[in-house]
Structure 1
Amino acid sequence: MSTVTSRRLLNLISLAGLIISVWFTIYCFHLGVFRNTTALQALVSRAAIFGPLLFIGLQIIQVVIPIIPGGISLAAGVLIFGPIEGFIYNYIGIVIGSVIAFSLGRRFGKPLIHHLVSQKTYDRYIGWLDNQNRFTKLFALAIFLPVAPDDVLCLLAGLTKMSLKTFTIIILLGKPATILAYSYALVYGGMFLSHII
């Protein structure tokens, strides 16, 4: 499959994921989920261990292949499982997905990255790799502050000499802040909107 075809396919999958996410958000809004999450959490709790495992699996996939916007899945975790468990499941899924993305970038290199990342995005961040020390600092900053596409940077980090240990430490320490910022901003923003509408 050519890179153009694979990118088009990924764009279609991402667009479909975005449309489904928007529809699901509107659906939840009409059900009053943002006003009362207890009913949703009670429904999910009946799934026992399968609910969290399925959610973690989806988070892993969306880091490697962005099917749905990451912010929406983060907020969904908090809404579905509550603030503490939602954070934990988001964190586990994103850390595992990030390590997988790094490992794929290292194993398959630029050919795979060209299939998964648009040329424009690739060109924007590939210059970061010119200086190893600078890349590590910029990567750590980007992971801690949500200013760049983390999934792309995780793939690109696989092209550098950064060790898996260093990468994992950056992800483990940097991800909690962005997970909290994204998920709680979206959840409480949604709750605020549901009360004023």
Structure 2
Amino acid sequence: MKLFGKYKVDMIDIVSLAGVILTGLLIYYGYKGGLFESRESLIAYVNSFGFYSVLIFILIQVFQVVLPFLPAAVTCTAGIVLFGAGWGLFYNYLGISLGSIIAFLISRRYGQWIAKKMVGERLYQKYAAHLNKGKAFDRFFAISIIAPIAPDDALCYLAGLTSMSLKKFTLIILLGKPLPTALYSLGSAAIFNWLNIF
């Protein structure tokens, strides 16, 4: 934490703000350039990056978990629109899984203060009492990931504060994420399509 004048500024705040600004600029210039006028123009633009378009998209999915400034509904839908149902689902799953593991590791490394910063005080207090319940928390976490009944991105940060091993966490994520990712991605894509947004 450093002081700028009389204000205390965290690096997380700076990175989050930079992410919001960058996203806003990308959306603005994309709109001005006609990228969002049709599905075809958006696909053509992303495909112009060749192999790197896949890498860029996966990184966007990673960042929307680690630094949640992008709504998951938009990025998951974009995966389906840009790469089709099969590959789009796979890239969504890969990016979200990697982001979840990184969130866990960040929390494990930096502790409670980063978890509170990323999930917010209200959510932290809601689940704080469950963090020291060992296997009971592990079961709750697994159920939440397989059939999302809680904010799973936030729970990834909170899991990093528990005694859960990285191996167990990774196994839950890799086995639990495919079905909810598919349902969320295809459901969001169907809604966006119905609203004629993409």
What is the TM-score of this pair, normalised by structure 2? 0.80
Q: Residues 17 and 67 of structure 1 are in contact (CA less than 8 Å); yes or no, is this contact kept in structure 2?
A: no
1:31 aligns with 2:73: no
What residue in structure 2 maps to residue 164 of structure 1? Answer: 166
Q: 1:20 to 1:153 in 2, by over 3 A?
A: farther
What residue in structure 2 maps to residue 83 of structure 1? Answer: 85
**127-136 or 12-21, which moves further after superposition?**
12-21
SS state at 2:135 partner: helix
Q: Residues 73 and 185 of structure 2 are in contact (CA less than 8 Å); yes or no, is this contact kept in structure 1?
A: yes
**What is the Cα deviation at residue 154 of structure 1?**
0.7
1:113 aligns with 2:119: no
Q: Residues 41 and 82 of structure 1 are in contact (CA less than 8 Å); yes or no, is this contact kept in structure 2?
A: no
Greater RCO, 1 or 2 (C-alpha within 8 Å, sep 6+): 1
**What is the Cα deviation at residue 16 of structure 1?**
6.0
Q: 1:39 to 1:174 in 2, by over 3 A?
A: same
**95-104 or 4-13, which moves further after superposition?**
4-13
Paired residues, number:
190
Q: Residues 74 and 183 of structure 1 are in contact (CA less than 8 Å); yes or no, is this contact kept in structure 2?
A: yes
Q: C-alpha distance in 1, partners of 2:119/2:63?
A: 15
**Runs of 4+, deviation exceeding 3 Å:** 4-30
* CA distances 1:67-122 after superposition (whole Å, capped 9, x unpaired): 21122211111111111111111111111111111111111111221232311111
* Larger helix share, 1 or 2: 1
Unpaired runs of 5+ in structure 1?
Answer: none
Q: Residues 74 and 182 of structure 1 are in contact (CA less than 8 Å); yes or no, is this contact kept in structure 2?
A: yes
Q: C-alpha distance in 1, partners of 2:35/2:148?
A: 26
Matched residue type, 2:179: A
